[in-house]
Structure 1
Amino acid sequence: MTRAVRAQWPVMLVGLIFAAAFALAGANFWRRGSLLIGIGVGVAATLRLVLSDDRAGLLAVRSRGIDVMTMTSVGAAMVYIAWTIDPLGTG
């Protein structure tokens, strides 16, 4: 168990960020939650970029370039959406 936790700490860190984001979204702080999802994907992209394939664990899906490009695009889109959409119920 301890070896598995040490080996998969990058994906566990991203999972904790996502859990916090979903908790915020579930508490009707959907903009903050979606912003945190975008930040979490950005953290995943950064970890995939700086860690070796062995150390990246489950974050390594395809080649490093494809993974980083995909995660960066998705993270940037999430941050843009969270930043630009007006909150519900306001002018």
Structure 2
Amino acid sequence: MTRPPLYIRRPFLAGLIRQLPLLAVLVAVAVGLLLVTVERWRLGLVVMGLALVGGAVLRLLLPVRRVGFLAVRSRPTDVVLLAGTGVALTVIALAIPGG
């Protein structure tokens, strides 16, 4: 006798596991925002930018059933927008003089 799949046995846990990539990106962005609030704005923006690039990598490598709400549009669109925004945020934060 086979066990029923996780989404039937424990739907909340299965949904949480499915959203782990998004949760990882959001936690990293929250850490970046926390750094910005304690006046480490440059480091905070770099952390946020790298979190977005990490989200792009997760979106690129994970199958649709595992990526959760990181999948909003088509895979190429999501990857280009996440990576482009992350790289732009990182480059701009590092290019601003002073700080």
In structure 2, give the amino acid aligned to 1:56. V
Q: Which has the larger radius of gyration?
A: 2
Per the alignment, residue 15 of structure 1 pairs with: 26
Runs of 4+ in 1 over 6 A off after TM superposition: none
Per the alignment, residue 80 of structure 2 pairs with: 69
Aligned with residue 59 of structure 1, among 59, 67, 70: 70
Q: CA deviation at 1:51?
A: 0.5
Q: How does 1:42-53 map to 2 (within 5 A)?
A: 42-53=53-64
Identity of aligned residues (%): 33
Q: Distance in 1 between matches of 2:42 and 2:25?
A: 18
Instruction: Using CA pairs under 8 Å that are at least 6 residues apart, name the structure with larger relative contact order, 1 or 2.
Output: 1
In structure 2, give the amino acid aligned to 1:67. D
Question: Does the CA-based 8 Å contact 1:45-1:72 persist in structure 2?
Answer: yes
Q: CA deviation at 1:72?
A: 1.1
Q: How many residue pairs get matched?
A: 88
Q: Distance in 1 between matches of 2:75 and 2:66?
A: 12
* TM superposition score normalised by structure 2: 0.85
Per the alignment, residue 7 of structure 2 pairs with: none
**Structure 1 portions without partners, runs of 5+:** none
C-alpha offsets along residues 4-48 of structure 1, whole Å, 9 cap, x if unaligned?
221100000001101100000000000000000100000000000
Q: Distance in 2 between matches of 1:3 and 1:87?
A: 46
**2:39 is the counterpart of 1:31:** no
* TM superposition score normalised by structure 1: 0.92
**Structure 2 portions without partners, runs of 5+:** 1-11
User: Aligned-pair RMSD on alpha carbons?
Assistant: 0.9
Q: CA deviation at 1:53?
A: 1.1
